[in-house]
Amino acid sequence: MGTAAAELDAAAITEPRLRQDYLLCRELHSRHGRTYFLATRVLPPARRPGVHALYGFARWVDDIVDEPEPGVSAAEQGARLHNIAEDLERALDGHAPREPVLRAVAHTAHRYALPSDHFRAFLRSMRMDLTVTAYRDLAHLREYMYGSAAVIGLKVLPLLGTVVPQQEAAPHAAALGEAFQLTNFLRDVSEDLHRGRVYLPEDVLASHDADRALMEHCAHTRTSDPRVRAALAEFVHINRALYREAQPGIAMLEPVAQPCVATAFRLYRAILDEIEAADYHVWDKRHRVSDSRKLAAALPALARSLWARAGPSRV
């Protein structure tokens, strides 16, 4: 709690209820986004609460869609998302929202002048998850990922700061958001099938004589099939191309923010290494980067961050 309180103090967040709202977001971040959370620890303390708020909001809404209470229907989930969207719109217009997570994220949105359209796009994609269970091709999937991933990168960008005009760094930030999400899709293929969803585009599967039924067989039997392995390998290739597209954006960030994003970049991309090393077997374990590998990435990044903080920079 001491570290969390120090972050809020550094960010000049003093109102007691708002501090509790940010602490809730921080707890969601630390519990559900371990890799992101570790990377955020490399940021200067004053910048961390805003990142916690954005992640906490995204995770809170995602759990409403992916982890509903028993007996909750899709219509009821949709109604909940509709109420959240209305409450968030009021909050972004300056009215006090009812939900703690919304109070924190609205405060962050106002503080950094984040566009309302980015939040609307995110909620649109979350509503898609209630009805869309497959994607025709990569273009169709990227329609979904614009709201679910690209705008996450765009929202975080003003919090991190740039040494170039923000619009120059924006395409790289959006690509990194998509790259992270594609890695999640590869890691979570079996879990998503259990939820009735396939994020791997149908045309990629079909080009390797694979389909949803074959993937469901792999998930059910926890065995690989060469056709599905080939499709997953192509998806990894697509994912790596997005990381290459995103990478130049790291140098466009303010020096104090670069180690944070570079750490997340390396750790998340390393999940692809784990998947490849397992010969694309994603059916009986959730591939993760080991704690020792995370520590090996985080410690040099922390040193670079401390060095950057010693120089002139805004917080």
Tens digit of each residue's pLDDT (9 = 90 or more) over 231-247? 999 999 999 999 999 99
How many Å apart are CA 241 and CA 229, to the nearest integer? 19
Under 8 Å CB-to-CB from 281, ≥6 apart: which residues?
Answer: 224
Closest C-alpha among 295, 309, 289 to residue 38: 295
Asked if 154 and 145 count as a contact pair (C-beta separation under 8 A), the reply is no
Count of C-beta atoms within a 10 Å radius of residue 276: 14
- The answer to whether 105 and 25 are in contact (CB under 8 A) is yes
Three-state SS at 214:
helix
293 pLDDT tier (thresholds 50, 70, 90): low
Q: What is the pLDDT of residue 220?
A: 95
Q: Tell me what pLDDT residue 176 has.
A: 97
* Residues facing residue 253 across a β-bridge: 162
Spatial separation of the C-alpha atoms in residues 145 and 56, rounded to whole Å: 18
**Does the structure show a pLDDT above 70 at 202?**
yes
For 5-18, how does the pLDDT look when each residue is reduced to its tens digit (9 = 90+)?
A: 999 999 999 999 99
pLDDT at 248 over 90: yes
Give the model's pLDDT for residue 312.
46
Cβ count near 205 (within 10 Å): 23
77: pLDDT confidence band, cut at 50, 70 and 90? very high
Q: What is each CA distance from 273 to 32, 149, 214, 240, 247, in whole angstroms?
A: 22, 21, 24, 10, 17
Residue 135's identity, in one-letter code, is Y
For 263-286, how does the pLDDT look when each residue is reduced to its tens digit (9 = 90+)?
Answer: 889 989 999 999 999 999 999 888
Cα–Cα distance measured from residue 219 to residue 66, given in angstroms and rounded to the nearest whole number: 19
pLDDT of residue 7: 96
The region of weakest confidence among 82-96, 190-204, 249-263, 286-300 is 286-300
* Global confidence as pTM: 0.89
List pLDDT tens digits, range 110-146.
999 999 999 999 999 999 999 999 999 999 999 999 9
The predicted model gives 256-264 an average pLDDT of 90
**pLDDT at 214 (0 to 100):** 97
Q: Phi and psi at residue 162, in whole multiples of 5°?
A: -130, 155
Facing residues of 162 across strands?
Answer: 253
**Angle formed at CA 105 by CA 73 and CA 109, multiple of 5 degrees:** 130
Question: Would you state the pLDDT for residue 41?
Answer: 87
| ∠ Cα 19 24 29 (to 5°) | 120
- Least Cα distance to 155 among 196, 108, 190 occurs for 108
Per the model's pLDDT, the better-predicted residue between 44 and 34 turns out to be 44
| Section 143-160 average pLDDT | 96
Give the tens place of pLDDT for each residue, 38-76: 888 889 999 999 999 999 999 999 999 998 889 999 999
The per-type count for the chain, helices as H runs and strands as E runs, is 16, 0
Backbone Cα Rg of the chain? 20
What average pLDDT is seen over the chain?
90
Looking at the predicted structure, is the pLDDT value of residue 295 above 90?
A: no
Q: How confident is the model at residue 290 (pLDDT cuts 50, 70, 90)?
A: low
